[in-house]
Structure 1
Amino acid sequence: MHTRAFFAGTVEATTTKGRAMAGTMRAERFHADTKTIAVEDIPIPGPGPGEVLVKVEFCGICHSDLSLIDGTFPALLPEVTQGHEASGTIAKVGAGVTGWAEGDRVVPSAGRPCFACRNCRRGDLTNCLNIQLMAFAYDGAWAEYTVAHAGGLTRIPDNVPFEQAAILADAVSTPFGAVVRTGKVVVGETVGVWGVGGVGTHIVQLARLVGAVPVIAFDINPAVRERALELGADYAFDSRDEDLKEKVAEATGGRMLDVAFDAAGLKVTFEQALDCLTVGGRLVAVGLSTVDLVSRYFLSLSVHAHRRGGGNLSMSVVGV
């Protein structure tokens, strides 16, 4: 889901190397002590070394944003501007930034590495051990302007609208990383997707694009299952079906699933996905969840966790 930046007005500003710039902007602020949000006038931030200031055109609404508001996920800052699925144009360029200029159409990364952990020091920024998530660890883009690290920018082609580009930062890049990097899906493999919401919908489409067959969607909502079929799923099953495992076996010619993706983040969906894997199969838990995903672990099964932006997380699975 996405919404156009809802703040009116334009202000003049001058770069001050990371300090607040002249002028104010409107921003949605989350207050951790009261778990309330409010649209407030705050100083326009200035880009520091290696950063750019982005004038926001569109910013998405992610379920994790709502989970911060309702307290499902703990707050990292007393106050923070939410929103991490953004698109816009570069308004100012910080010191040391090359390859970018004012007016460039960009998508900021939904997170940034710490640059200090062991992996970052080795140059493996994608697998930063202390990744900082936009709108949680630092201010996001439910605002007129947001600061972004230049190394995490993606250029928007001229033929891609801002409203479509905005969701690339999370709702598309996270599923892409899950399918291509973590799940390593290849042509001809059987794939199942549990939970076909914003993330699961893109997993279905991406699995189809890389050549998986069949692609099977699982959801409790009939309308969602119908949409999954329209977007490329070969089958769409109700995950509450008592004969589900038999239907998966029939759909895959008895093979079961090479790769299963749990985009629901529930213990029941995780265990169900695990139970539908073939020997040597992979189970990928995608996104953020507060649920302890502990389950049976069978020989020759590989279990992974995948978080926003493409990095891998370790997961402990007990039992034999």
Structure 2
Amino acid sequence: MAETMLAERFYAKDHSIHLEEIPIPEPGPGEVLMKVAYCGICHSDLSLINGNFPPSLPVVTQGHEASGTIVKLGPGVTGWSVGDRVIPSAGRPCMVCRKCRRGDFANCLHLHLMAFAYDGAWAQYHVASAMGLTKIPDNVAMDQAALLADAVSTPYAAVVRTAQVHSGNAVAVWGVGGVGTHLVQLARSAGAVPLIAIDLNDEVLERAKRLGADFAFHSDDPDLMKKIEEVTNGRMIDVAFDAVGIQATVRAAVESLDVNGKVVTLGLSDQDIDAGPFLDFNLQRKQVRGHLGYQGQDIAILAEMLSFGRLDLSESISDVVPLSEVERGIDDLKNHKGNPIRILVKP
């Protein structure tokens, strides 16, 4: 194995990114070294570059949605072998907060995020904690596997855990880009009916219908609430997902709710939440819940769903760019070129 590797490096001082040759890292106790096959470009990566997400380190390798093959085991690692195809978890518990001290690692208060608090996988090799790995089934492609760590697992956790969508729930999704498209697919899998996609873009609305939405409406339609009332036969929405994260979308999502309905917001911005008048909000017992991330077992569940054909991500890979052209992939996502669901980096 060579001693150095190509990696993208983000510099917090001027929010610049550079391709550099850096030493291949050594796995420490409880860690593995994996050769990266693919790694996604996520909007949170863009948020670090444009300054909307505060940096944790002065210099860091980005990329947190990865798949790869183990090439070296660190001291004390058991249950894994060189050659195993794996997906790393995109976070590590801090091990010092009150949640971690109680063994509640999934709810760590100071989770160390991959590609923010430690080096990510826009690189040829990546060191991952063995504790958070998921084995990729033999019949699952490595490119689709890379999507599972965040791009699909975060929507899955939002649907199944935070929103607890079940058969018969009327569900609406505001913003059907990368996260929203997977919300549509997973809400349908959970039994949502009717399932409504809401966006400004005709092409992404058509895609949402193709992937499982029963109805597709424009978010700027002045008759939007009337149309939602019509297609739900007057009962309105049980669960609304806001995958955009701005005042206008969360306010509309709240307005669409039935009594005891809930909004789950996944979109990130620096805007304040506007949930509407207290009188309407409280009398109708509406809820707004924030959501971020997933649990480690969620990736394994999704990998099994892919393996058994219960989930189709064939349309989710919009483009693959070599690591040497990662800036092009970043620009294409930022500019919504081709309305991408996910652009992958292939080192």
Fold match by TM threshold 0.5: yes
CA distances 1:181-233 after superposition (whole Å, capped 9, x unpaired): 00000111100100001100000000000111001010000101000000000
Q: 1:172 and 1:259, CA in 2 relative to 1: closer, same or farther beyond 3 A? A: same
The amino acid of 1:181's aligned partner reads R
Q: Give the 5 Å matches for 1:64-143.
A: 64-143=44-123
In the alignment, is the contact (CA less than 8 A) between 1:287 and 1:308 conserved in 2?
no
CA distances 1:71-126 after superposition (whole Å, capped 9, x unpaired): 22221111000000100011111122221111100001111111211112222211
Higher relative contact order (CA 8 A, sep 6+): 2
* In 1: Cα distance, 2:94 partner to 2:80 partner: 22
1:224 pairs with one of 204, 210, 225:
204
The amino acid of 1:33's aligned partner reads K
* In 2: Cα distance, 1:256 partner to 1:171 partner: 28
The amino acid of 1:34's aligned partner reads D
Number of the residue aligned with 2:321 = none
CA distances 1:126-173 after superposition (whole Å, capped 9, x unpaired): 111111111111100000111111111111011111111001001000
Q: 1:83 and 1:139, CA in 2 relative to 1: closer, same or farther beyond 3 A? A: same
The amino acid of 2:218's aligned partner reads D
* In 1: Cα distance, 2:295 partner to 2:272 partner: 21
Deviation at 1:302, TM superposition (A): 2.1
* In 2: Cα distance, 1:85 partner to 1:225 partner: 25
1:261 pairs with one of 224, 241, 244:
241
Q: Is 2:283 the partner of 1:303?
A: no
* In 1: Cα distance, 2:273 partner to 2:74 partner: 42
* In 2: Cα distance, 1:43 partner to 1:132 partner: 22
2:170 pairs with one of 168, 171, 190:
190
In the alignment, is the contact (CA less than 8 A) between 1:178 and 1:310 conserved in 2?
no
Q: 1:87 and 1:96, CA in 2 relative to 1: closer, same or farther beyond 3 A? A: same
Number of the residue aligned with 1:18 = none
Q: 1:95 and 1:62, CA in 2 relative to 1: closer, same or farther beyond 3 A? A: same
Q: Specify which structure has the higher proportion of helix.
A: 2
SS in 1 for 2:86: strand
2:273 pairs with one of 293, 299, 307:
293
SS in 2 for 1:259: strand
Q: Give the 5 Å matches for 1:142-181.
A: 142-181=122-161
Deviation at 1:295, TM superposition (A): 2.4
Gaps of 5+ in 1: 1-10, 13-22, 312-320
In the alignment, is the contact (CA less than 8 A) between 2:52 and 2:269 conserved in 1?
no
* In 1: Cα distance, 2:262 partner to 2:130 partner: 34
* In 2: Cα distance, 1:116 partner to 1:294 partner: 34
SS in 2 for 1:281: strand
Number of the residue aligned with 1:6 = none
CA RMSD of aligned residues (A): 1.3
Deviation at 1:287, TM superposition (A): 4.4
* In 2: Cα distance, 1:64 partner to 1:125 partner: 22
* In 2: Cα distance, 1:279 partner to 1:122 partner: 36
Deviation at 1:308, TM superposition (A): 2.3
Identical counterparts, % of pairs: 63
SS in 1 for 2:24: strand
Gaps of 5+ in 2: 297-347
Which shows bigger deviation, 199-208 or 29-38?
A: 29-38
The amino acid of 2:288's aligned partner reads V
The amino acid of 2:20's aligned partner reads E
Q: 1:142 and 1:226, CA in 2 relative to 1: closer, same or farther beyond 3 A? A: same
* Number of equivalent positions: 291
In the alignment, is the contact (CA less than 8 A) between 2:93 and 2:110 conserved in 1?
yes
SS in 1 for 2:294: helix
The amino acid of 1:163's aligned partner reads D
* In 1: Cα distance, 2:267 partner to 2:75 partner: 34
SS in 2 for 1:37: strand
* In 2: Cα distance, 1:125 partner to 1:157 partner: 26
